[in-house]
Amino acid sequence: MYEFKFHRPTTVRQAAGLLARQEEAKLLAGGHTLIPTMKLRLAGPKHIVDLSQIEGISGIEMKGRSLVIGALTRHFEVATSPTVKENIPALAELAGLIGDPAVRHRGTIGGSVANNDPNADYPAACLGLGATIITNKRRIAADDFFKGLFDTALEPDEIIVRVQFPKPNKAAYVKFPNPASRFALVGVFVSKRGSEIRVAVTGAGASGVFRVTSFEDALKKRFGVKSLEGMTVPADGMSGDIHGSAEYRAHLIGVLARRAVAAATA
C-alpha cells in the first residue's frame, strides 16, 4: 500500500473542500472496495477523506412516497430495517445479498453507488427503481448517474449524501451470484410504479448497469412472466470473462428477468 494522509471532516462541506483542495484525494466510507484496491496498489490516493465523523448522512426514513437512505448507511442496516422491509422489501433483500455478513456490517450504499462496480447490486436497485442520487450539489436521476465501468456523473468534489427511492407497487431483485466473490454474475431488478416499468441489469453489461427497454415495453402491456416468454437479449455489448461468456450472461438476463417478475407478482 502506498503512503497516504487521512482526514476526518465533521461536515460534508469540509469533506468537499478537502476533495477540491487536495490532489489525489479519495473518499472513504465503508472501505470495503477502497482498502482492497489500495492493497493491490491499483489505487494510491495521497489523501483519504473519511466520511464516518459526519453527522446526518446515515439513516433510513420515509418522506412522503419515497424511501430516503443516507449515503453512509451500512448494507446490514438496509437489509434489516423494518422501514425498508415494509416499503420496498426488494431493496432490503438486495442489501442482504451483498458480500457476506461481515462485509455488510461495513459497506455503505453511498460507497457502492459512487463506485459503480459493473457487478455491484445497488446500481441495479437505483436504476431499477428510478432512484434519485442526492449530492452536496444537486439531485441526479439514476438514469443520468451511471456512466460506465466505475464511472458516474459525480464531479471531483461532489459527495453523495442520500439516495431517494420512490416506492414501487411491485418490485423484485434476482441475482445469480458468482460463487466465489458473491458479486452478481448477473442480477436483474424489476419494478412497476403506476405505468412506469423498469428492468435494470447489473453484472452483464460491458459498460455497467443498464435497462432492458424491450423487456420493459413487453411488461407495460401486462406485468407478468408470460409477457417475457421467449424474449432474449443479444449478446452484443455484454461482458465475457472466465466466469461466463457474453452469450451466457445474455441468456441469464432473460431467465433472471422472468424469475424477478414472478417474484414481484407472487
Partner 1 sequence: MTAVAMTVNGKAVTGDVDPRTLLVQFLREHLRLTGTHVGCDTSQCGACVVHIDGKAVKSCTTFAWQVQGANITTIEGLAAPNGPLHPMQEAFREHHALQCGYCTPGMIMAAVDIVQRKGNDLDEKTIRHELEGNICRCTGYHNIVKAIAAGAKTMGKGA
Binding site for partner 1 (CB under 8 A): 1, 3-6, 28, 31-32, 35-36, 39, 48, 50, 52, 76, 99-103, 105-106, 180-182
Which CB atom, from 1 or from 149, has the smaller least distance to partner 1? 1
Question: With respect to partner 1, which residue has the nearer C-beta, 15 or 253?
Answer: 15
E-only strand ranges, 84-228: 132-135, 139-141, 146-148, 151-152, 160-166, 170-177, 184-193, 196-202, 210-211
Shortest Å, Cβ 72 to partner 1? 13
> Could you tell me the smallest distance in angstroms from the CB atom of residue 41 to partner 1?
12
| Collapsed DSSP state (helix, strand, coil) of residue 137 | coil
**For residues 49 and 172, what is the distance between their CA atoms, to the nearest angstrom?**
35
User: Which of 150, 250, 143 minimizes the C-alpha distance to 204?
Assistant: 250
Output the smallest distance, CB 84 to partner 1, in A.
16
- The three-state secondary structure class of 86 is helix
Nearer to partner 1, 37 or 214 (CB): 37
Which residue, 117 or 205, has its beta carbon nearer to partner 1? Answer: 117
The minimum distance between CB 101 and partner 1, in angstroms, equals 6
Determine the Cα angle at 147 with ends 143 and 153, to 5°: 80
Closest distance of CB 197 from partner 1, Å: 31
Name the residue nearer to partner 1 (CB basis): 100 or 241. Answer: 100
